[in-house]
């Protein structure tokens, strides 16, 4: 990228990107030469396309300066039903960038086993299937009655697949194209979905999700319209991703709300993101992980859900059996966060691919 007038959208985005990427680069020693790989979560949309171009220029060696770390960029694009893109332009424009296209159904190739999950008595119970021909994420999602819950769980399937690829490629970080607008909507969306506990990990600029592997959000201070102007000025192609029309979902309502608010009161959107960025990580030394989404979780999600659920009480015998299972650590209880408990509480016999060790800290 050539030098730009500091008042242009390109210079503006470059400046903000470099400011945020510094937190990630500072994690690595500068006194030894090394090559490190970074995975870029790419959808072909406005944010991820701008992220790719900024990462190529922002992590490139600066002229006349010694850079101890050589960055290898890997673009990961997940294909789904009706969602595929021609990415040849990436290889033509950035010959040193590796491009990987992965079907979302390959999550089953990375899984070591498949569990049949059932919600009962404020807990997810499972039985392990020795063999399963179940290979379709779209069919898996249809087992979830709520559309909002499907969108919620779908996001974590994609995240776990990208994490598995990052570990396979020995990456030290995954770059996400979350704009300020997107992060603000994520705060509202996650809170509404019962995922407030994991917000520090969901919106942090540079978060160590497991040892020596970071989730990085260098676009946090850039709004979506600024990215659009950046792509136009750089003559970069992009697609516009929209949820299919239908009943309103939590995700769509949150996105539409902050997109409108961004145009009228941009400072309020920035205030939401800055406030969420100040959320402290829990003081526990041990991090509990959800067996579904993989995110850090509270250690008493089932008890909390039971305490706030207003329903007819379960039969006494069933309640006693549930208490006995919890107290004895019965092996058929799946470790689940509150958000996933809420998302899956109407599910029966949901087949879930289990990927061992991707969340080992």
The answer to whether residues 254 and 215 touch, using CB atoms and an 8 Å cutoff, is no
pLDDT on residue 59: 86
pLDDT on residue 355: 81
Domain contains 346: no
Mapping DSSP to helix (H, G, I), strand (E, B) and coil, where does residue 61 land? Answer: coil
Domain contains 354: no
Beta-sheet strands, E only, within the chain? 34-42, 69-79, 98-103, 113-120, 123-129, 171-175, 206-210, 213-216, 288-289, 296-297, 333-334, 350-354
Domain span at residue 263 reads: 9-108+137-282
Domain contains 52: yes
Domain contains 165: yes
CATH code of the domain in which 224 resides = 3.40.50.620
From first to last of its 361 residues, the chain has per-residue pLDDT tens of 445 566 788 999 999 999 999 888 888 766 566 788 999 999 999 999 999 999 998 887 665 566 667 889 999 999 998 778 889 999 999 999 999 999 999 998 888 888 888 887 777 888 877 555 667 899 899 889 999 999 999 999 999 999 999 999 999 999 999 999 999 999 999 999 999 989 999 999 999 888 889 999 999 999 999 999 999 999 998 887 665 566 789 999 999 999 999 888 889 999 999 999 888 887 765 678 888 999 988 776 555 555 555 454 444 454 444 444 444 434 466 788 999 999 998 887 788 888 876 655 4
Q: Which residues contact 117 (CB under 8 A, 6 or more apart)?
A: 124, 125, 126, 334, 344, 347, 349, 350, 351, 352
pLDDT on residue 329: 38
Domain contains 159: yes
pLDDT on residue 257: 93
pLDDT on residue 4: 55
Give the Cα separation of 226 and 222 in Å (integer): 6
How many domains is the chain built from?
Answer: 1
Q: Which residues contact 239 (CB under 8 A, 6 or more apart)?
A: 43, 44, 45, 85
Q: Which residue has the tokens 């960025």?
A: 277
**Integer-rounded Cα radius of gyration of the chain:** 21
- Provide DSSP, 255-267: HHHHHHHHHH-HH
Give the Cα separation of 165 and 216 in Å (integer): 16
Domain contains 343: no
Domain contains 291: no
Domain contains 233: yes
Strand partners, 120: 123
pLDDT on residue 310: 46
Mapping DSSP to helix (H, G, I), strand (E, B) and coil, where does residue 238 land? Answer: coil
The answer to whether residues 38 and 171 touch, using CB atoms and an 8 Å cutoff, is yes
């Amino acid at each position: 990228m050539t030098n730009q007038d500091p008042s242009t959208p390109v210079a503006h985005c470059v400046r903000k990107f470099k400011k945020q990427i510094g937190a990630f680069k500072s994690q690595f020693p500068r006194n030894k030469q090394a090559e490190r790989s970074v995975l870029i979560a790419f959808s072909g949309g406005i944010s991820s396309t701008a992220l790719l171009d900024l990462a190529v220029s922002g992590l490139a060696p600066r002229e006349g300066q010694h850079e101890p770390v050589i960055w290898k960029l890997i673009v990961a694009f997940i294909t789904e039903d009706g969602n595929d893109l021609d990415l040849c332009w990436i290889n033509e424009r950035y010959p040193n960038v590796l491009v990987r296209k992965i079907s979302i159904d390959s999550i089953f190739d990375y899984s070591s086993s498949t569990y049949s999950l059932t919600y009962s008595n404020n807990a997810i119970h499972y039985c392990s299937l020795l063999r399963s021909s179940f290979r379709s994420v779209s069919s898996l999602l249809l087992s979830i009655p709520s559309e909002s819950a499907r969108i919620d769980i779908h996001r974590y399937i994609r995240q776990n697949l990208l994490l598995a690829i990052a570990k396979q490629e020995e990456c030290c970080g995954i770059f996400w194209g979350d704009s300020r607008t997107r992060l603000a909507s994520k705060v509202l969306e996650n809170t509404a979905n019962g995922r407030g506990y994991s917000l520090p990990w969901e919106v942090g600029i540079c978060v160590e999700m497991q040892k020596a592997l970071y989730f990085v959000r260098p676009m946090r201070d850039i709004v979506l319209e600024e990215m659009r102007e950046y792509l136009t000025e750089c003559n970069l192609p992009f697609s516009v991703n929209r949820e299919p029309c239908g009943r309103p979902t939590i995700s769509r309502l949150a996105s539409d709300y902050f997109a409108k608010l961004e145009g009228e009161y941009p400072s309020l959107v920035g205030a939401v993101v800055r406030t969420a960025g100040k959320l402290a990580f829990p003081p526990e030394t041990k991090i509990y992980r959800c067996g579904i989404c993989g995110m850090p979780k509270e250690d008493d999600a089932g008890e909390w859900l039971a305490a706030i659920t207003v329903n007819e009480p379960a039969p006494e015998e069933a309640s006693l059996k549930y208490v006995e299972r919890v107290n004895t650590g019965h092996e058929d209880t799946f470790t689940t966060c509150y958000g996933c408990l809420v998302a899956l509480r109407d599910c029966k016999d949901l087949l879930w691919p289990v990927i061992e060790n991707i969340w080992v800290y």
